[in-house]
Amino acid sequence: MVNLPEKYCENMKELLQEEYTDYIDSLSEKTYQAIRINTRKISLQQWEKINPFRTSPIPWVENGFYIEDAMGNGQNESGQQESPIPSRHPYYYAGLYYIQEPSAMIPASLLPVTPGDKVLDLCAAPGGKATELGAKLQGHGLLVANDISVSRTMALAKNLQIAGIQNCLVTAETPEKLASVFTNFFDKVLIDAPCSGEGMFRREPRMVHDWEEKGPAYYAKIQKEILTQAYQMLKPGGKMVYSTCTFSLQEDEAVIEWFLDIYQDMKVCPVERKEGFLPGRPEGIAAREELKHCVRIFPHKAKGEGHFAVLLQKGDSVADAEETQRSRESLTKEHKKQLEDSIEDLTITIEDRSQKGSFSKKKEYQRNKSDKKKGKSGREKFEKASQGQTVQKADMQTKEFLSHLPFEEGRYVSHNNQISFEPLWIESLSKLRIVHKGVAVCEIKQKTALSHQLALCLRDEDFDQVINFQAADPQVIRYLKGESIQTDMAYRGNILVCVDGFGLGWCQGSGTTLLKNKYYPGWRYQ
């Protein structure tokens, strides 16, 4: 049982009244494990065919599922097969799902993101909401995922990469700094605001200490500042979700009441009422009736922790939505041409052209043979590179490879022997502290090293050399641990390693049946 502060108990008694005892009893009950399927990589129909867990649906999120009895691999004492641990399954490493608290799935589900939108997740770390917003975009538009903490953005960037979100930009800035760059820029904004964390007391009892130290009044001030900056970045007609994981009226309805008073072109939007959704509580404050459209989750009423969320809209929605649609239709051809032009105009610096690796064993052999005939040494070319004399247009092999990657909207750029795919609209963001952007494709040195992030964006049909493990194959875990792969045939060059068709990482062949493991060391199976 969580040891709750006396003042907090008084507040909850006033809020819940006759339901207070039920709430207190719920704090002694179990918490719920859940996953959210990454629809950027796999459809729900496909997931149903390969789902290795015992699951039940979360009523408020179509792609969310409770995990039943996630205990481990193998069999329990009764001889029954146990459900695998979600964080240790190969599908987790392939980015097919995100492990997330059930009520925390609500904010991203309420924001009506469509492909082509420019979307901001303002307080994004560690990435639970950002990965879902990125999935909704389906490779079109732009996702800016921000967190003020540089250290927290490391986990954010990793989770976006695992999820295969290529049209994203990860920043570590204050809302004020972002607002100075992105004025009236975003179609959709999500604010999962820092809060007193009352809804997480059962799952994370340490949050109680933070509540005692700071409390709702401290966070309400921060929340109002964040909303002010978010308003500046939201387009007329754009939509915004504000959410917290607290029950406090001071941080929830009262903050929205204040916001609506200040920005009178903002309105609360009704949302579909799902099982477990309770209405907002305007009766506890100045009482706008429209605040009943807010969503509340309580642990004694739903299989989740605690959350508050509200969908807001700015300005004339009809006119602006129509204009946005017309604009996107006219940009489709332009975006395709931009991508094609970026491949054609790509320049790269080659340190050692004679030893440059290829994307298939056949092409690599042909290139090495051709270089030997010319009699040019790798040393000569390295010396030229150091003199800045090897900057040139990408060769046809590289262009062909890039043109077949499953990226639809963006451009290819190169810097210091590295080729990356970047989303559009980020040409003039030098003022921002950018932690990650787009997809690192490859690094061209003596051999072409394809990035781990690229592998996580690919399927088995996207590459010419593939080793495809089934999830139950013990070799897939050995691969994730960094061990070499023994095969029945010899490979040369880069090989994409997949689990049930979904990219995991790379291995390297040198003409033998033993392949060098190229799985990113920092992300290995532990």
pLDDT band at 329 (very low <50, low <70, confident <90, very high): low
Residue 366: predicted pLDDT:
42
SS3 259: helix
* Per-position DSSP letters for 21-33, written without gaps between them: HHHHHHTTSPP--
- Do strands 34-37 and 64-67 pair parallel, antiparallel, or not at all (unpaired)? antiparallel
3 state SS of 185: coil
d(CA 522, CA 87): 16
What is the dihedral angle through the alpha carbons of 486, 490, 491, 495, rounded to the nearest 10 degrees? -30
Q: Which of 89-103, 339-353, 425-439 has the lowest mean pLDDT?
A: 339-353
CA–CA separation, 205 and 247 (whole Å)? 15
**pLDDT attached to residue 415:** 85
Structural domain spans, the chain? 6-30+100-315, 333-453, 458-526
pLDDT digits (tens, 9 = 90+) for 78-122: 445 567 899 999 999 999 999 999 999 999 999 999 999 999 999
Instruction: Please tell me the predicted confidence (pLDDT) of residue 353.
Output: 44
Question: What confidence category does residue 18 fall into, taking pLDDT thresholds of 50, 70 and 90?
Answer: very high
- Asked: is 458-526 a CATH 2.30.130.60 domain? The reply is yes
Total residue length of the chain = 526
Q: Determine whether 457 is an active site residue.
A: no
Contact 92, 472 (CB under 8 A): no
Tell me phi and psi for residue 441, to 5 degrees. Answer: -90, -55
From the list 245, 457, 498, 507, the catalytic residue is 245
At residue 446, the pLDDT reads: 72
Cβ(301)–Cβ(102) below 8 Å: no
Q: Is residue 278's pLDDT more than 50? A: yes
Selection from 157, 153, 115, 143 nearest residue 424 by Cα: 143
pLDDT digits (tens, 9 = 90+) for 26-68: 999 999 999 999 999 999 999 999 999 999 999 999 999 999 8
* Three-class HEC string of 210-249: HHHHCCHHHHHHHHHHHHHHHHHHEEEEEEEEEEECCCCC
β-pair type (295-297, 411-415): unpaired
Average pLDDT for 310-326: 70
CA distance 243 to 240: 10
Instruction: Supply 188's token pair.
Output: 């959709």
Question: 0.75 exceeded by the pTM?
Answer: yes
pLDDT at 212: 94
Write the DSSP symbol of residue 446.
S
Residue written as token pair 């990356």: 420
Task: Name the architecture of domain 6-30+100-315.
Answer: 3-Layer(aba) Sandwich (3.40)
- Split at pLDDT 50, 70, 90, the class of 390 is low
Would you call 490 helix, strand, or coil by DSSP?
Answer: strand
* pLDDT top residue among 490 and 286: 490
pLDDT in tens, 473-500: 999 999 999 999 999 999 999 999 999 9
One-letter amino acid for residue 438 of the chain: G
Task: For residue 228, count other CB atoms closer than 10 A to its CB.
Answer: 15
